[in-house]
Structure 1
Amino acid sequence: MSAQARIDELTELLNHYNDRYYQDAVSEVSDQEFDFLLKELETLEAQNPTLKRPDSPSHRVGGTITKSFETVVHKYPMLSLSNTYSEDELRDWDDRIKKGLNGASYEYICEIKFDGISLSLTYENGVLVRGVTRGDGTQGDDITTNIKTLRTLPLKINQKKTNTAQTNLFGGSTIGQNFEIRGEGFMPNEVFERINLEREDIGEDKLANPRNAAAGTFKMQDSGVVASRNLDCYIYQYLSENDEFKTHEESLIALKNAGFNVSESYKKVNDIEGVIAYINEWSEKRHSLKCATDGIVIKINDYAQREDLGFTAKSPRWAIAYKYKAESKSTELLGVTYQVGRTGAITPVAELKPVELSMTTVRRATLHNADEIKRLGLSIGDQVFVEKAGEIIPKVTGVDTSKLRDEATRESSKVCFPTNCPACNSELYRNEGEAAYYCPNEMGCPPQIKGRIEHFIQRKAMNIDSLGEGKIEILMEQGLVSDVSDLYKLSFESLLGIEKVHIDENTGKERKVSFKEKTVQNILDGIENSKNQPFSKVLFALGIRFVGETTAQKLAAYFKTQEALQAASFDELRTVPDVGEKVAQSLQLYFKEDKNLKIIENLKLAGLKFEAENIVLEKESEALMGKAFLYTGTFESFSREELEQKIDSNGGKLVSGVSKKLDFLIVGEGAGPSKLKKAEDLGVKMINEEEFKAML
C-alpha cells in the first residue's frame, strides 16, 4: 500500500473512532490500539509531510510552533451584545422587541453565557480551514493550528451522517459545505484546577481564572502545549450565505447532529416571563456546569424577525446578555494557617466559619501572599467577604466594615505574616520581584521533603500509585525515607508490620494503616515498575523548580541525556522551546547543588532512565548519510521533533553540541548566540531552513 493510501486510511479510521467517542460516547477500540494507530499515522506524516491532510487527527496533539499569528478580517463582523443586570431592564428591552415587530408573536432562545474566548470557525467543502479570535470584532488572529487541537470539534463534517439526521428533522434542510460557525472557547474547571495544582507544584504562580487561562492558552505559540491543556468549545451560531434554516433553534439542532459541541442547556421560551424563569433556574444550577459562566444570552429565535429588528452601531437589537452579579457572602475569619509547599513557598489560607457559596460549603479561602494580607488589613474575628474567583477558587475580597469591632480588639488579633517557617522555624526569605516567601531548609523541612516525594510518585512522574500521602508520611516518621532515592532502598523486611492510627479531622474516627504482606508487595512492585519510566518522566519527577511536564519532555528530547542537560550553558538551555530565563536559571542552580547531584547518582544506581529512547523510523533516503547536524532556534516548516525525525529518516546524525565533528548547524529564528559564535569560530557551515530542505 502506498504512503498516501495508508495515510488516507488511517485518517478516516481515526476520525471515525474520534467521532464515535466524542459524539456517541462509544469506544470502538482500546486507548492502546488508538494510540498505536495514531503513532503510525504521525510517523508516516513526518516522513511525507506534503501528504498530511487538513483533517488529520494528528492535529489534535499539536506540536507546531507558530511564531506570529496572521490578522484576518471577519467575513461576518463579531458584534458585542448589550448587557444588563436588571429584570426591569430586560422587560424594557422586551417592550422594544414588541414594538419593533409591530405586535407579531415571537419566541426567545435562552442560552448560558459561557465565560471564555469568542471564536470564529470557517469550513470549506466540509473541512475546517480557519479558526480566528474575535479580536476587535472586525478582525482577529488566525489561531487555526491551536483550534485543531480541540477534540470535540470536527475537523471534517460527516456529511452522510449530517444529511440523514437533518432530513429527519427538517424535511431535507441540511448544513452546507461552506459555512462559518461561532463558538466560545473555554478551559474546563477541572483542567483549570489541575493546571493550578501543577503550577503550584513546580513553583509557578497560579493562573488567575479560567477565562484568562483560556485566552492565554489559545494564543500560545506551541500547539503541543495547547493540546495538553484540553481546551473545549461550545458552538452557538451558524452563518452561511444560503440561509439553510429559518430559526436559531433549527440551526442548533442541526449543528448538534452534525457533530458539533452544542450545550444542551439552551431553551426556547414564548415570552419575557419565560426568560426570567430560565434566569432564576440557572442562577445556582450553572455552577454545576463544567466551565465558568457569567450570565444568560437571550435571542429572538426567528431569523426573519432578526432582520426586521436589525442592529445598532455596536450590537444586534434582537439579542441581549443578562449578567449575574458575583456572589459574595460575609462570614467570620476564624484563623489563618500557613502551608509549606514542595518548593518551600509559604501560602496563607483563611480558616472560615462555614458559609454556602455557589452551591458549595466554603471553609477555607486563599489569601495569596503577605502583600494581600497587608492590603486587606485582616484581624482574627473579622467578618470578611468571600467570593469564588472564576466561580472556582474561594478568596477573601475584603473586610465587612459595617461589622467592625473596636480598634483595640482588632489590633490585638491582627494577622501578621510569619518571619519563620511554621514547620521547621527557618528564617524565611523573599526573591526580588516575587510575591511569595520561601523556607530555605530544602533538605530538613518536613513538608518540603514530603512534597517532593509526593511529586516524584505522582502519575505524570514515576507513577508509583501503590504509595500515597499517608504512607509517605509514615515512611518519613519511621526514618526510612528522607529523599526520593531512598524509595529504591526499601525492602520487604523494612516495611512489613508498620502500623499507624489516623484520626479523621471531620469525623474524629480512628483509621488504622497497616503494612501487611499484600500492601508491602504492591508498594515494592510499584517502585520496581517505575524504573521503566522514560527520561522525560524522571526529569519531571526530580521536581526542579519551574520544570513542568511539557518542559521536561522538550528538555529530554533536545538534550537526550542527563549528562548533556547538566553540561548545557545558559544560552543552550534558552534555545529549547518553553525554556525562558527563569527556567534556565533554575536548571543551572539545581545542577550546582551537590545534594541534588547525589540524589541523581543514587537514582542512576537504582536503575532509573537518564537517557532518552530513540525512535527508529523508516528511512526516506540517504541524502544526509554520513553528515552530522545540529539545529538552533525555531522553524516555519518543522517542529523540533519533526526536524529531528527528518534528519534521522534521511540518514543524518543529530549531535548534541557544536564541535569540529559537526557538519551543518541549521539556524532558525531566535537562534542561540553562543552556538552561532562557536560554529563561526570552528568554521562549521551554517544553513537556513530552506537550504536544509534543498539538501533533501
Structure 2
Amino acid sequence: MAKRAYPFTPTDQLTEEQAAAELARLAKLIAEHDKRYYQQDAPTISDAEYDALRQRNNDIEARFPELIRKDSPSQRVGAAPTGRFKKVRHAVPMLSLDNAFSDQDVADFVDRVVRFLKLNEPPVFTAEPKIDGLSLSLRYEAGKLVTGATRGDGAEGEDVTANVKTLHDIPHALKGRNVPDVVEIRGEVYMTHDDFIALNKRQAEADEPVYANPRNSAAGSLRQKDPAITASRKLKFFAYAWGEMSAMPADTQAGMVEWIEARGFSINPLFKLCHSVDAMLAFYRDIEQRRAALGYDIDGVVYKLNRLDWQQRLGFVSRSPRWAIAHKFPAEKATTVVNDIDIQVGRTGALTPVAKLEPVTVGGVVVQNATLHNEDYIKGIGNDGNPIRGGTDIRIGDTVIIQRAGDVIPQVVDVVLEKRPKSARPYEFPKTCPVCGSHAVREEGEAVRRCTGGLICPAQQVERLRHFVSRDAFDIEGLGEKQVQAFYNDGLVMEPADIFTLAERDKRATKKLADREGLGETSVRNLFAAIEERRKIPLNKLIYALGIRHIGETNARLIARHYGDVDAFLEGMTAAGAGPDSEAYRELTNIGGIGEVVADAIVEFFKEKKNREALDRLLEQIEVEPMEKVKSDSPVAGKTVVFTGSLEKMTRNEAKAQAERLGAKVAGSVSKKTDYVVAGPGAGSKLAEAQKHGVTVLSEDEWLAMVGG
C-alpha cells in the first residue's frame, strides 16, 4: 500500500503481545465505528481514517495469523440491524471488499489472481467508480419486487421495502421476458450533491438538523419510518451486482451488468472493461481527475474479475471476495494552527498529548483536535528513534498540516516552518501527572510516559471502571461512561465490587438513586436488573475486565483457557509473583501468545496488595464461570493443526479456512501442544518437529477423510 504515517509501532517491530493487544483495541474501535456508520448514519471519522484502521488490522493479522480474533473486523461485515425495522436474512451474504491504496496494491491483487488461477497473462477485469452510499439488496419473485433490505451485518439487514418503492430508479417489476423466478439485484443508494445541498437548505429553514454529507443523508432518508419523507428526498440508485439467482442469464460480470440494465435499472455509465493492470490504473486516474465533476460522492474504483466461473474458483476469504478489490482514493489533508497542547491521562496512566486546533474542515468533517502520540513525536522523533518531519518539532502557535487517516482522531503530519511565530518555544512535556500530581515516568524502551499514581489517580480509577463495565468486559447495560463518572463523583462506585452492592446500599440510603436527576424508578430498576444479570461472568471476561496492561481479549482468552477456572488462575498468578525463576512464572510464559512483557504486567498487578484486595471483594459478589469449550461436533474442534508442504487438492488458505470453520486452531509452528500436522509433498522442518514431539502426522487425503471431505 502507499506509504502513510501511522501513529503505531511498525508492524514488523511488534511483539506478539503488542500485536494481540492492538488487535483487541482495533476490533473494539472498528466495531464502534461500524455501528455509527451502518446503524446511526453518523460516522465520526473519514473513510480514509476508517480504511487505515482496517488496513492496520489486516497487516497485523497477516504477520500474526494465529492471533486472528473471532470478533476481528476481517471476519465480519457492517453492523447488526438497528431494530427500528423488521430484519431480513440475506439468501446470499452481502460481503465487503478488500482495499488497495496504491498502484502496487492493485498489481499485487492481479498477480494473486493470476497465480491462483495459474494463468499465463492477466485476465479481463471490470472497473467502475465506488459509490459512497448505502448498500441495498432488492429481491424480485416472478419479476415483481417483494423485498428491499439494507446490508446490515452482511448476513441480516433491515426491511426498507416501503421506502425503496418510492425511488424512481428502482422498478417495481423487471422489464423483458424470460426473467428468472428469483432475482436479487444489489447496488448503492446515493444522493447527488445538488439534492444534498437543497435538502440541507430545507432542513435549516425548518429548524431541523442538517446532514454532514450526502452519504449520511441518503442512509438517513432511506431509514425514515414514513415513506413519504423518503420520497421527498430524491434518492438515486446504481445497480452493479446480484445476490440469489434461480438462473444466471450471463457468464461474465459485464454481461450480468448489461442484463441488469436491460431489466430497467440504472448502471454507472463509467463502467468499463480493462485488459491489463495499466488499463486499470489509467481508469483509476481518469476517474480521480473527474471525481469533482461527477455530481455525486465516490471514494475509489472497484475492480472485478470478469469471468464468473473464475470468480467461483477464487471464492472468498473471511469477509471479502478474492476476485474483487476497491482501489481507494488518498486521504485528504488540511492546514491549520495549533492553539494549545492538552495532556490526557488514560486508564493505564499513559499521558497522551493532543493538539487543540483552529477548527478546519477535512473530508467533510470539522476537525478541532489532532493526536500528537507522545513526547518524541512532538520533538520530531519516530518510534525507531530516527527523525520524522525532517526532525522538526511541534510548537504551540505552529501552522501544521493534518491528515484524517490512521488514528481515532486526525494526526499532525508536518509543520509549515516559514509560518512559525517568533514567540514559539519548544514544548516541555510534563514530568508529573496533570490529574493527580504524581510523578510521571517513562520506562526504558517505551515512548509513552505514565502516571505512577495507579489507584489513587482519579483519571485511572474512572477509566478502569468504564473499562470494567464496557461491552467486551462485564457489559452492564445502563451503566455507561456518564453514569460511571457520576457515581464515582458521588462516592457511590469507587471500585468494581461497589457496583454489585449498589442495590443493597440504595435500600438503606436516605436519598434513593431514583431521586437523582436523569434517573427515575424505571431506570434504576433496569440498572439493578442488568447488574444482577452480570453476577455470572466467564473467566476470560473477568480477566479482561481487570484492565491489566497488555491484557486484551485475546490474551485474556488464552490465559483463561490455560487455567480453566478462577481458583487455578488466582493460585497461578500468586505463585508467579515469586519471580521469573519460579515454576509458576515459567508456566505463565509458556502459554502460547503470552511472553514476559505480558507476564510481568499480570504479576505486577497481583503483587499490588490493593489490587488483590479489590479483586477479593469483587469475587465475594460474583460467580466466575470456567472457560467455554468449543461448541462443535467436529473431530478437530479445539485441536491445534499445522499445515506444511504442498497441498494438492486445496490451497493453504482454503485448508486453513476449512479447519477454522470446524473449530480447530491453525498454528504456524509445531510444538508439543500441536495435535495434528497435515504434511504434503516437500514438507521439511515442521514435519521433523512433529516427529520429534510425537505429533500425529496426516496426509492431505487422511485429513480430508477425518473432516468429511
Q: TM-score, normalized by length of structure 2?
A: 0.48
Q: TM-score, normalized by length of structure 1?
A: 0.48
Instruction: Determine which structure has more spread, i.e. the larger CA radius of gyration.
Output: 1
